[in-house]
Amino acid sequence: MNDEIDILVTLDENYMEPLKVMLTSLYYNNPGETFNIWLIHQAISREKLLELNKILNSFNWKLYNEKIDAKLLDGAPTLERYPKEMYFRLLCGQILPKSVKRVLYLDPDILVINPLRELWDLDLEGSMIGAATHTGMTNLTTEINSLRLGTDHGYYNSGVMVIDLEIARSTIKLQDIDDAINKYNAFLILPDQDILNYLYGKYIKEIPEEIWNYDSRKYFSYYTKSFKKHNLQWVMENTSILHFCGRPKPWDPKSDGKFTALYLHYQKFLKRISENL
How far is CA 29 from each of CA 211, 231, 241, rounded to the nearest angstrom?
14, 20, 11
Name the CA radius of gyration of the chain, rounded. Answer: 18
pLDDT in tens, 128-151: 999 999 876 444 455 555 555 566
pLDDT in tens, 98-119: 999 999 999 999 999 999 999 9
For residue 225, give the nearest of 139, 110, 159 by alpha carbon: 139
- Domain 5-276 sits in CATH 3.90.550.10: yes
Report the alpha-carbon distance of residue 193 to residue 142 in Å, rounded.
13
Question: Domain ranges in the chain?
Answer: 5-276
pLDDT in tens, 150-198: 666 688 999 999 999 999 999 999 888 888 887 777 777 777 888 899 8
The structure's pTM equals 0.92
Report the alpha-carbon distance of residue 39 to residue 50 in Å, rounded.
13
For residue 194, give the nearest of 183, 206, 209, 207 by alpha carbon: 183
